[in-house]
């Protein structure tokens, strides 16, 4: 928006950068084109030279433009260069046992074996420490220790710190204001929340529907409880295929569904709001609990946070699970469940499992949230992750074989990479470890060992020379296999 020739915006450089980015995406500015000088850009938009530099720095950070000494700025990358999306596997609708434990155990054994070595770790799905507000969290810890009458050494309430539960109800997923603090149970991370919800609504031998590919921890949880799974195909863009789920419900006595609606790990798909509503209507019609893992919902690259299935829940069948592990502090292990009509069963599971969660970390995060620091942190983190996503994507395009297919997540921090059918994911991992590079093989993201020529690459680490070298070396190893 202009007023007297000037742009009105809190972040002028972002509006300028967004306009230029759109011109690059629309091919108005083509790869190799020279951009206006900083002074010309300043005059054109009615902004300061410093603000013009900021706009170019922002686009340069995303890898869309490059600076050439004594020459200026040039367009480097266009989104049209993105590789094709991977093909979606249509799973046979079969109920079967889970068999991922040994594969995952071997991966963790490798990690332990190389723990003392410097590793380029693309296998992690966590934000780099440099993206986290460590100093401010430390201040919150000190503040709550000073304020606490017993220095936070006593057990917390089984449902968790009341102030933390109040803050969680104020997060953006609660658009309708339907959630109250007494509806929330604090857990040791999101996986514990999912596991306790599963225990509350299933018994050994029951069948659950799980989208595939999916986070391997969910398959481990299902396996540990002696449950069977029906794998439901998930799309790289729109998430779980509701028609496939409906078909499976008609064939099997499904006792629960486990879905990651926003930025599924590892695909990055995000269910449209219409699909979330249809999903809730489907499970409500058949009276099936839906365990919603929304751990990545805050890490969106667009303009607004995607909604949740819980928002459309009218019967208490949606068991919403999330945590601060991916968005704020992995090591504090603070998550939560909003189990709806099953809250008493989940509370009982919590009492049996560990009585309550650590008092200090709950109080510290509650203090952090109270002071309005979370949203400010998230805004910066989202920008950083979006930039890193583009840089990692560009390197894969440059270094991997031309028939490589890559997902295009609109949030989170993982890429799903579909390689030539001659590539074996576990052999590639073994070769990569010899070069101190860690990746996650595709097979572990399915209970039926699909995706043997796929890998997951995390882009939670800011782009640097190590990341560039690691992807270049991976590209060489893949080419040798082909």
Give the right CATH number for 98-130+376-481 from 3.90.1150.10, 3.40.50.10860, 3.30.1300.10, 3.40.50.300.
3.90.1150.10
Give the Cα separation of 121 and 127 in Å (integer): 12
Angle between helices 343-354 and 189-201 (to 10 degrees): 120
Give the Cα separation of 197 and 220 in Å (integer): 15
Residue 200 has pLDDT above 90, yes or no: yes
Q: What is residue 30's predicted lDDT score, i.e. its pLDDT?
A: 82
Contacts of 253 by beta carbon, 8 Å cutoff, 6+ apart: 206, 207
Q: How far is CA 313 from the centre of its chain?
A: 23
Instruction: Give the residue with greater pLDDT, 105 vs 37.
Output: 37
- Which band of pLDDT confidence, cut at 50, 70 and 90, is reported for residue 109? low
Mean pLDDT of 90-111: 60
Closest CA to 442 of 185, 86, 199: 86
pLDDT averaged over the chain? 88
β-pairing verdict for 120-121 and 437-438: parallel
Kindly report, residue by residue over 352-409, the tens digit of the pLDDT. 988 889 999 999 999 999 988 899 999 999 989 988 998 999 899 999 999 999 998 9
Instruction: Give the residue with greater pLDDT, 348 vs 172.
Output: 348
List 234's β-bridge partners, or say none: 240
93 close to 247: Cβ distance less than 8 angstroms: yes
- Cα-based distances in Å from 78 to 3, 122, 208, 387, 397: 31, 24, 42, 14, 12
Q: What is residue 360's predicted lDDT score, i.e. its pLDDT?
A: 96
SS3 content of the chain, % helix, strand, coil (to 5): 45, 15, 40
225 close to 257: Cβ distance less than 8 angstroms: no
- Tell me which CATH code domain 2-80 carries: 1.10.10.10
Q: What is residue 2's predicted lDDT score, i.e. its pLDDT?
A: 45
Residue 6 has pLDDT above 50, yes or no: no
Mean pLDDT of 427-450: 89
Which value, in Å, is the radius of gyration of the alpha carbons in the chain?
23
- Domains 2-80 and 150-373 equal at CATH topology level: no
Contacts of 211 by beta carbon, 8 Å cutoff, 6+ apart: 231, 232, 233, 234, 239, 240, 258, 259, 260, 264
- Cα-based distances in Å from 445 to 113, 291, 322, 410: 22, 18, 19, 20
Residue 171 has pLDDT above 90, yes or no: no
For the chain, the domains span 2-80, 98-130+376-481, 150-373
DSSP 350: H
Tokens coding 159: 């449902």
Q: What is residue 112's predicted lDDT score, i.e. its pLDDT?
A: 61
**Phi, psi values for residue 126, rounded to 5°:** -140, 155
DSSP string, 67-101: EETTTEEEE---GGGPPPPPPPP-----EE----H
Q: What is the architecture, at CATH level 2, of domain 150-373? A: 3-Layer(aba) Sandwich (3.40)
Query: Which of 38-47, 57-66, 189-198, 391-400 is predicted with the least confidence, judged by mean pLDDT?
Result: 57-66
- Cα-based distances in Å from 306 to 217, 411, 446: 23, 10, 25
Kindly report, residue by residue over 7-46, the tens digit of the pLDDT. 444 478 888 888 888 888 888 888 778 899 989 988 888 8
């Amino acid at each position: 928006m202009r007023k007297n020739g000037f742009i009105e915006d809190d972040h002028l450089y972002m509006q300028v950068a967004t306009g230029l980015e759109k011109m690059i995406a629309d091919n108005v500015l083509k790869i190799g084109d020279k951009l206006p000088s900083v002074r010309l850009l300043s005059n054109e938009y009615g902004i300061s030279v410093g603000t013009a530099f900021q706009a170019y720095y922002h686009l340069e950070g995303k890898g869309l433009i490059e600076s050439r000494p004594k020459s200026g700025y040039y367009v480097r990358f266009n989104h049209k260069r993105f590789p094709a999306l991977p093909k979606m596997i249509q799973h046979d609708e079969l109920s079967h046992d889970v068999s991922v434990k040994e594969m995952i155990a071997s991966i963790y054994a490798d990690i332990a074996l190389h723990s003392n070595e410097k590793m380029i770790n693309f296998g992690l799905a966590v934000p780099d420490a440099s993206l986290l507000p460590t100093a401010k969290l430390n201040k919150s810890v000190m503040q709550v220790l000073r304020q606490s009458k017993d220095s936070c050494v006593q057990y917390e309430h089984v449902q968790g710190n009341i102030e933390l539960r109040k803050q969680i109800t104020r997060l953006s997923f609660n658009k309708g204001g339907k959630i109250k603090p007494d509806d929330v149970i604090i857990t040791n991370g999101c996986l514990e929340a999912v596991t306790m919800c599963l225990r509350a609504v299933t018994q050994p031998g029951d069948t659950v529907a799980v989208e595939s590919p999916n986070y391997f921890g969910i398959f481990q949880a299902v396996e540990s409880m002696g449950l069977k799974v029906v794998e439901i195909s998930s799309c790289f863009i729109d998430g779980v295929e509701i028609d496939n789920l409906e078909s499976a419900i008609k064939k099997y006595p499904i006792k629960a569904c486990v879905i990651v609606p926003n930025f599924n790990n590892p695909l990055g798909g995000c269910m449209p709001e219409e699909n979330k509503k249809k999903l809730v209507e489907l499970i409500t019609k058949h009276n099936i609990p839906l365990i919603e893992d929304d751990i990545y919902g805050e890490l969106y690259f667009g303009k607004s946070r995607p909604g949740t299935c819980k928002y459309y829940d009218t019967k208490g069948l949606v068991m919403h699970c999330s945590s601060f592990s991916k968005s704020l502090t992995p090591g504090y292990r603070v998550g939560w469940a909003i189990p709806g009509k099953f809250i008493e069963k989940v509370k009982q599971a919590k009492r049996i499992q560990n009585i309550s969660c650590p008092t200090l970390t709950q109080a510290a995060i509650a203090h952090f949230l109270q002071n309005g620091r979370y949203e400010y942190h998230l805004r910066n983190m989202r920008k950083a992750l979006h930039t890193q996503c583009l840089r990692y994507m560009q390197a894969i395009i440059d270094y991997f074989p031309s028939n490589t297919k890559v997902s295009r997540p609109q949030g989170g921090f993982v890429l799903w990479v579909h390689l030539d059918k001659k590539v074996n994911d576990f052999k590639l991992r073994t070769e990569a470890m010899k070069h101190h590079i860690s990746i996650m093989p595709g097979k572990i993201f399915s209970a039926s060992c699909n995706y043997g020529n796929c890998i997951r690459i995390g882009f939670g680490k800011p782009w640097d020379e190590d990341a560039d070298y690691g992807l270049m070396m991976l590209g060489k190893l893949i080419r040798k296999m082909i």
